[in-house]
A and B are shown apart, each in its own frame.
Chain A
Amino acid sequence: MSDETLVKVQGLQKHFPVRSGLFGRVTAQVRAVDGVDFEIHRGETLGLVGESGSGKSTTGRAVLRLIEPSAGSVHFDGVDILSLDSGALRRTRARMQMIFQDPYSSLDPQATVADSVGEPLRVHRGLRGRARDDAVVELLETVGLQARHLRRFPYEFSGGQRQRICIARALAPSPDLLVCDEPVSALDVSIQAQVINLLEDIQQEFGIALLFISHDLAVVRHISDRIAVMYLGRIVEIGEAEQVYTQPRHPYTEALLSAIPVPDPVVQRRRDRIVLDGDIPSPLAPPPGCRFHTRCPYAMDVCREVDPPMIPMAGGGVACHLHDRGPRLHGRSVLEIEPRSRAAEPVHANVKP
């Protein structure tokens, strides 16, 4: 892993207009992604986590410009991809590929494996016929499939095999970046590990940077170098995987972590779990101040009024008033707040100096 920046995302926004009435007037905006900044280094895996509706997938698609961002910039290897015309964008797409969540719908049901996996080879390298088939066989073998699968159709494969086909297709143009949008969520648990390991092997072998989108922190921790946590269209915490996992700085990260079951019934029963009240607020009208204050166990007055800025810290940053106002954590983990105090009492008194 080098420190060279491959992808630089700044102030990324994607708002979907809500139209209503006879003339389709825009009456509201769904702020799916509302000001996101991050970087991905060459050969690195950045995990992007958050619950449903937090804007993870929209962020992933906007990075590849599969949807047009409303504002912000995305630089890929120094080039602003939002400024590219369609031809240049298509050529650049060879270097940034995507793996979709549902391996059943992301393969053309009418196309053979050779046709699907060969598509990038045909489009970007002009390979056809035997040359294409030979290259496809090589890719299939990389992902653990065989040459005999070449002429088969998607319906003849299991979910795990289909996702392997999708991975082979994504590898075909030798990309520098692979955006994986919940690549294992649709698969059986027994198959998930195989596909995750395959992605890891491929990343190590080819040095591809991964943007790994998932709602499953355990999976993300396993594969990621760094983790970004999204809530309601914003990144609330970003940092080294181990730090985010063991020393979370944001209350939302803490809540996400506490939702992961521990594979030990005794420990699991004794755990002091944080259960967030209610659902994620509507991105049509995000709460004022800190977006998380409606569900935050530590919410202070300031959180209801002032939107916390991203505070840069070692290995990343956090957007939370616990670190710049109120009880000053100064980058220390929220876990240091005494567990007992979490519910009723004001938190100020219980923070260690």
Chain B
Amino acid sequence: MTTATAIVPGLTMERRSTFWLRFSRNRSGVIAAAYLVLLTAVAFGAPLIAPYDPLEQTLAAINQQPSAAHWLGTDDIGRDILSRMMYGARVSLIAGVASVGLSLLIALPLGLVSGYVKGPLDTVIMRFADAVQTLPALVLALTISAVLGPGLRNATIALAVVFLPTFLRLIRGQVLAVREETYIEASRSIGTPTFDIIRHRVLHNIASPLIVQAAVTMGFALLAEAALSFLGLGVQPPSPSWGRMLSSSYTYVYTAGWQIFIPGVAIALTVLALNVLADALRDSLGREIRTS
């Protein structure tokens, strides 16, 4: 049989290759992805590549402008800003990925059940989502962080709760549309168990808007973590975080004005990269071939 070599159980080569083909043609998407990969590498390789210890204070050299010794200068107590940025990237990325991941972990099963099974459970879940959404996002995050206590972990949990209604609504809405498709009825007519239908048919067909939303939300999580740290509810000193660095440099905006731009530009660039990546994913993940 000629197809013997082509049959690889469980692997759908075509789906992947079409995606990569389309994604690789999107130049800004590729640049954004490359930036994020580089950032991740720097964040987790920080102990190896950072020129200084991020906590080491050199009180003889505070608020120094960028120089050969300190590429991005030093902060108010003489710590190397480049090293702190590298370590701080880790906090920002973890906060983004973990809060979105945690939120999805909760929203996915609830949204799938809510949209597919409907009934009273749907009403309960959606009223909960309504209730959470009545509060402004940042106020809610602040309240939860304040109750749980400051720290990266609690800030992440707070953000996950804030993102929950958005994900729930998106998933439920997508499921409501997909469940009416004839191929779902076809699966029912085959006798496929409901759980199986949700896992194989529904999940695959709601994946692309979800991935895009996750990328966009990660950008927002980055900003929110910075805001929480800025307000003193995120990462605690002396650990570096971009939001934290923004808040401390803001005190010296008249004496060492360049400092505030370093975490600021990094946050802006990363959020931009995540949004561009989300756009590129949306264009590449389509279910049908787009002829353009």
Q: Report the Cα distance A97→B191, complex, angstroms.
A: 9
Q: Is B56 an interface residue (CB 8 A)?
A: no
A106 with B289: CB separation less than 8 A:
no
Whether A100 contacts B6 in the complex (CB less than 8 A), given A152-B14, A153-B14, comes out as no
> How many B residues are at the interface, by size bracket?
20 to 34
Q: Report the Cα distance A132→B68, complex, angstroms.
A: 64
Q: Is A119 an interface residue (CB 8 A)?
A: yes
B189 with A64: CB separation less than 8 A:
yes
Residues of B within 8 A of A153 (CB): 14-15
B204 with A108: CB separation less than 8 A:
yes
CB distance from B245 to the nearest CB of A (A): 43
CB distance from A173 to the nearest CB of B (A): 7
Report how many residues on chain A are interfacial, defined by Cβ distance under 8 Å: 40
Q: Is A105 an interface residue (CB 8 A)?
A: yes
Q: Is A110 an interface residue (CB 8 A)?
A: yes
A119 with B187: CB separation less than 8 A:
yes
Closest to B10 in A: A129
Q: Is A137 an interface residue (CB 8 A)?
A: yes
Whether A109 contacts B14 in the complex (CB less than 8 A), given A119-B192, A123-B190, A130-B9, comes out as no
B1 with A108: CB separation less than 8 A:
no
Q: Is B130 an interface residue (CB 8 A)?
A: no
CB distance from A217 to the nearest CB of B (A): 25
- From A90, A94, A133, A166, B7 is in contact (CB under 8 Å) with A133
Whether A97 contacts B190 in the complex (CB less than 8 A), given A110-B204, A133-B9, A150-B3, comes out as yes
Main secondary structure of the interface of B (DSSP, over half): helix
- From B14, B188, B201, B204, A66 is in contact (CB under 8 Å) with B188
Whether A106 contacts B2 in the complex (CB less than 8 A), given A153-B14, A155-B288, comes out as no
Q: Is B27 an interface residue (CB 8 A)?
A: no
- From B181, B200, B201, A105 is in contact (CB under 8 Å) with B181
Whether A106 contacts B182 in the complex (CB less than 8 A), given A130-B7, A151-B13, comes out as yes
Whether A110 contacts B205 in the complex (CB less than 8 A), given A129-B10, A150-B3, A155-B288, comes out as yes
Interface positions, chain A 90-107, Cβ under 8 Å from B, are 90-94, 97-98, 100, 102, 105-107
A124 with B191: CB separation less than 8 A:
yes
Residues of B within 8 A of A109 (CB): 183, 205, 287-288
Q: Report the Cα distance A66→B75, complex, angstroms.
A: 69
Residues of A within 8 A of B53 (CB): none
Sampled A-B contacts (14; CB under 8 Å): A93-B190, A98-B186, A98-B189, A105-B183, A106-B182, A109-B183, A110-B207, A111-B201, A115-B12, A120-B190, A120-B192, A147-B3, A150-B6, A151-B13
Interface residues of A (CB under 8 A from B): 64, 66, 89-94, 97-98, 100, 102, 105-112, 115, 119-120, 123-124, 128-130, 133, 137, 147-148, 150-153, 155, 166, 169, 173
Interface residues of B (CB under 8 A from A): 1-3, 6-7, 9-10, 12-15, 181-183, 185-193, 196, 200-201, 204-205, 207, 287-289
